[in-house]
Structure 1
């Protein structure tokens, strides 16, 4: 009987596409038949270690084939996976472990010190040789499982919890976002449809698997399509370009910084197999440069959040140019509205808060009814982002509600000022915040990273803004910096900028 257990996908693919390559990690490769068999062995090993279907299980590791197998094995036995952000300090990890109620932890050698400092874990499994007190070695557990062993897929309903993903926590402690089995299934259907995935695709996963971009864009949906997942733990532009060339990668997610780096590589890697790049937050001017270098590649802007099980809009190929700057139209099964402060839907083109609902949307936060209630209303998830929807139904991002600068009674969208500054030829990156002002309440301040060898000054940036923006939107202050503070997803921490300004 079919259920909503994602691991069942492997059973189907192992039968229908047994010899097709499913997973690549460096020089190691697994067909679908081999991957399914390895997941059975990992599932049996976890059961032997003492993990049960009732457990929440943390994974503290970099992107490896073992990580993917453990995710699939946890799904197979019916346990709840909690991919942990390995960039966090041990004290922060302890908070997540405690708040989630994690009973078991699977960890790599790199994080043995962190694992040793974590309290209250019933089961510890070391994915390498660094075995802390009380831990069992995965290698030994696997050795006890005969090849050919089969573990039945646990029956799961669409509303059952599949995993927890903890948000970056830029304003408070991390929050555990619930992804149900139904959320994940809906996202996988949407990814296959929107990215037009087939068994011929070879998708690179470089975003960490503790992040929704690594897991779900398209992430594990690769296996639904019968395609090939290629893993890498690196974020370096040159390394990713080399892997994309060697493995004939057809699609990948890239952070803006990596995209900039790939543009500057010499010689240019052979990316003739690449058919799409998925990204967010890239200025139109940069996008034009990418298109000029890679005219055959579909460039996909997106809007999404962990609470939405990744994206809810992708820009379609037909409107890449005519809707430049928009973030696409909603996925099938996703509904998006723009509402005013009274929660009334506004007319096309009018700015307001972006709210969403649909099968992909998380039902709430783990053990946090207050935040869940505050961010849900009448079945809608309140994103806290400001945007508009045009006459054709395409979403345009304006700003985070908290990033609106209130100056002299006017609202200034920091994203708008950033867009203009990013068009200056000497600017590599920019972040704009509001700072206190005795006359205007707040005024814009820009933090600018220049391209190497640039001699542009703050006044040059201001002059550029004066030529493209209303005077009240022009930053009163421009600070040239070498770097910007970021969270674990690569997003600029404007809170940190405000605290130091």
Structure 2
């Protein structure tokens, strides 16, 4: 028996009275969590969920989210965590493309849930008469949970290694997101790797502040904490000060932090007054060396772990080990267990140490492909390797040194944003002839999108109108922070736009229109 459902079954016997999950003032022991999962699994069956069905979750981080993820696995269905920051139109696309059969949603996202069309759904929380009515065909989850208390017990679904456990939609190099498949075996391999790499034990209390719709919230170490017998501390996504306060109160031993959260924490004038003596590791990525040194100065007892990972790799492929934190500063470390990594030259052959090439990965942690997208799968999975499109080198000791992001991805506030997706939306504006989007540095969000817009002949458009158009079609974090109207776009001999010239320090080929 694999799968996260089987993990909890085993721990509910071995560690029945130990605390498994913390959400605010509420606590669940392993035995209590297992019983809660049984109730939710029964409720899912009452809602018509069967093995192989895809169940979407549209919610902030809370205990019910964790329970639902495990319950979906227990009935043999497939979970699809939805990014609640997406526009309703984007949510509609994902649900339709994936073939979702049921949606579990927070009440606050009722309007966004309308984007799911006519799909049946369950809403967290009671159905209050004074509140906005639920979408047609939707029910309050509490009602089904009460019915589930008297439901006949059912055997757990089989969870084979190659069985699909979840799908995570992530922005890619195309104009539409792709659904990355994670099998039970992928998740198992990642969780064992996390336990070994982070030296997790039943004494660990790891905080999940990254969203559970993101692989870093789910798997870094995320649910691996339960496999280790430790305690997951859930937060709905606080700022730096709130994370520090909660970490001190709960004796948190491990954190996974985005760059902007680290900046917020370093700005805290009272950071030293919070007791973080239990904290032993922080996992991060894309943090400048100067910031790492500042974190070390503030928290000298904490292991700082730089990483390289992707959703397609079920989180991290490389972690920096404790012994080389400073002698290899700037590196992303060496491969995790169940991961084989190669740097490939232009002809696909292994590159020599110190030579920049494409990162290829294979192993038990690597996704089998993209859901309902055989063309994209065939393009990225070739000759037994997943081709990341990212550039890096390795040194003589096998440490990875990342060079550049793949394609034209923009990394903003911990989210991957595809420039092509923004370009597709802006190009639909009647006054826009052509558009190119790049990422530009931002002190808080690492990068933010900037759009270079070539207006149609005789048309007039300004930044405010372009921004309003984006707001009707894109999640807020994907909307360009800057718009620049241009008379032309730089191109090569074949007509392809040269985005590297747009990102240069030279003068822009037009007039600025920043929103």
TM-score, length of structure 2 as denominator length: 0.78
Q: Which of 278, 282, 287 pairs up with 1:277?
A: 282
| Alignment correspondent of 1:187 | 190
Q: Which of 237, 242, 246 pairs up with 1:239?
A: 242
Q: Distance in 1 between matches of 2:476 and 2:250?
A: 25
Q: How does 1:299-318 map to 2 (within 5 A)?
A: 299-318=304-323
**1:292 CA drift (Å):** 0.9
Q: Tell me if structure 2 keeps the 8 A contact 1:168–1:174.
A: yes
Q: Distance in 2 between matches of 1:298 and 1:232?
A: 22
Residue 216 (structure 1) aligned with residue 219 (structure 2): yes
Are the structure 2 counterparts of residues 22 and 149 from structure 1 closer, same or farther at C-alpha, using a change threshold of 3 Å?
Answer: farther
Are the structure 2 counterparts of residues 98 and 403 from structure 1 closer, same or farther at C-alpha, using a change threshold of 3 Å?
Answer: closer
Larger RCO (CA under 8 A, 6+ residues apart) = 2
- C-alpha deviations, 1:392-443, integer Å up to 9, x for none? 0100000124369xxxxxxxxx99xxxxxxxxxxxxxxxxx9xxxxxxxxxx
- C-alpha deviations, 1:466-488, integer Å up to 9, x for none? xxxxxxxxxxxxxxxxxxx9x98
| Alignment correspondent of 1:126 | 123
- C-alpha deviations, 1:66-101, integer Å up to 9, x for none? 111111100000000000011111111010011000
Are the structure 2 counterparts of residues 42 and 446 from structure 1 closer, same or farther at C-alpha, using a change threshold of 3 Å?
Answer: closer
- C-alpha deviations, 1:28-61, integer Å up to 9, x for none? 1100000000000000011011111131110000
Q: Tell me if structure 1 keeps the 8 A contact 2:3–2:185.
A: no
**1:447 CA drift (Å):** 4.3
Residue 39 (structure 1) aligned with residue 37 (structure 2): yes
**1:114 CA drift (Å):** 1.6
Q: Tell me if structure 1 keeps the 8 A contact 2:3–2:187.
A: no
Q: SS of the residue aligned with 1:126?
A: strand
Q: Distance in 2 between matches of 1:196 and 1:10?
A: 20
**1:6 CA drift (Å):** 2.0
| Alignment correspondent of 2:343 | 338
Residue 360 (structure 1) aligned with residue 365 (structure 2): yes
| Alignment correspondent of 2:84 | 86
**1:270 CA drift (Å):** 1.7
Q: Distance in 2 between matches of 1:350 and 1:9?
A: 42
Q: Which of 289, 299, 306 pairs up with 1:294?
A: 299
Q: SS of the residue aligned with 1:30?
A: strand
Q: Tell me if structure 2 keeps the 8 A contact 1:37–1:148.
A: no
| Alignment correspondent of 1:437 | none
Are the structure 2 counterparts of residues 137 and 261 from structure 1 closer, same or farther at C-alpha, using a change threshold of 3 Å?
Answer: same
Are the structure 2 counterparts of residues 272 and 445 from structure 1 closer, same or farther at C-alpha, using a change threshold of 3 Å?
Answer: closer
- C-alpha deviations, 1:238-273, integer Å up to 9, x for none? 111111111011001001111011111121122111
Residue 174 (structure 1) aligned with residue 177 (structure 2): yes
Which shifted more, 46-55 or 112-121? 112-121
TM-score, length of structure 1 as denominator length: 0.81
Q: Tell me if structure 1 keeps the 8 A contact 2:82–2:213.
A: yes
Q: Which of 142, 145, 148 pairs up with 1:142?
A: 145
| Alignment correspondent of 2:493 | none
Are the structure 2 counterparts of residues 493 and 352 from structure 1 closer, same or farther at C-alpha, using a change threshold of 3 Å?
Answer: farther
Q: Distance in 2 between matches of 1:215 and 1:278?
A: 13
Q: Tell me if structure 2 keeps the 8 A contact 1:211–1:489.
A: no
Q: Distance in 2 between matches of 1:7 and 1:447?
A: 42
| Alignment correspondent of 2:75 | 77
Q: How does 1:436-451 map to 2 (within 5 A)?
A: 447=441, 449=443
Aligned alpha-carbon RMSD (Å): 2.8
Are the structure 2 counterparts of residues 259 and 79 from structure 1 closer, same or farther at C-alpha, using a change threshold of 3 Å?
Answer: same
Q: Distance in 2 between matches of 1:334 and 1:386?
A: 18
Residue 327 (structure 1) aligned with residue 324 (structure 2): no
Are the structure 2 counterparts of residues 151 and 317 from structure 1 closer, same or farther at C-alpha, using a change threshold of 3 Å?
Answer: farther
Q: Which of 386, 392, 411 pairs up with 2:391?
A: 386
Q: SS of the residue aligned with 1:6?
A: helix
Are the structure 2 counterparts of residues 53 and 351 from structure 1 closer, same or farther at C-alpha, using a change threshold of 3 Å?
Answer: same
| Alignment correspondent of 1:469 | none
Q: SS of the residue aligned with 2:176?
A: coil
Aligned residue pairs total 428
Q: Tell me if structure 1 keeps the 8 A contact 2:206–2:253.
A: yes
**1:176 CA drift (Å):** 0.2
Structure 1: give runs of 5+ residues left out of the alignment: 405-413, 416-432, 434-443, 452-484
Q: Tell me if structure 1 keeps the 8 A contact 2:260–2:444.
A: no
| Alignment correspondent of 1:425 | none
